[in-house]
Structure 1
Amino acid sequence: MNKDKYNSLPDDLKKVIDDNSGADLAAHISKVFDVSNAKAMDAAKAKGDIMIDIPDPLNDPDWRGPLMEGSQHYLDEVNATGLDADNVYEKAKAASSACMV
């Protein structure tokens, strides 16, 4: 949420957001998604689907091109609505890089 918008809210609404967001909630939700993902993977394997792990797809020559093309297509669609998707994407990449150790 935009910090200025958050600061414009009354305290009771800020409390609702604070009580339902943050690192603790994100950690909990990631565990829920991990369980859901494991169940989906098990179901796919039980059907005979083959899982292929591509640890670093953006540096894999077979995957980089299609991934970059798909990402650009999505950004172009969002930009066409008048939103600045490219700017948001660049900021997200910078934030991600800043978190890498």
Structure 2
Amino acid sequence: MSQRSYDSLPADLQQVIDDHSGLEWSLRAAEVYDEMIRQGREEAVEAGHEFVVIEDALEDPEWGPVLQQTIDDYLEDIGGSANDIYEAAMDLQQSCPV
């Protein structure tokens, strides 16, 4: 919801939104999704499916070019300063130990 839409609501409805959103609710939703992912992975393993993990996919010779093209196309579609923001985020990621 945009800030303008939120601001146009009466105070009682703003309170309902405030009471049911934010970090606490995001964490609750994340727990639900994490459990769904865990269950789905467990079911896939039981069904005999194999999981392939690709470390640093952008550097992978098969995945990298496709992913980079997808990123480039998306940033071009967004336009504006999207590329600068992406580059800044990538720089920050490189400077933060994982």
The answer on 1:86 being equivalent to 2:62 is no
Consecutive unaligned residues of structure 1, counting only runs of 5 or more, are 76-84
Give the TM-score normalised by the residue count of structure 1.
0.66
Structure 1 residue 28: deviation in Å? Answer: 1.0
- Overall identity of the aligned pairs, in %: 28
Shift of 1:66: 2.5
TM-score, length of structure 2 as denominator length: 0.67
CA separation of 1:32/1:15 partners in 2, compared to 1, >3 Å: closer, same or farther?
A: same
How many pairs does the alignment contain? 93
State the Cα deviation string for residues 38-89 of structure 1 (Å, max 9, x = none). Answer: 000010011110011224323433223333445677x5xxxxxxxxx6159x
Distance 1:93 1:72, change over 3 A: closer
TM-aligned CA distance change 1:61 to 1:18, over 3 Å: farther
Q: Distance in 1 between matches of 2:19 and 2:91?
A: 27
Unaligned runs of 5+ in 2: none
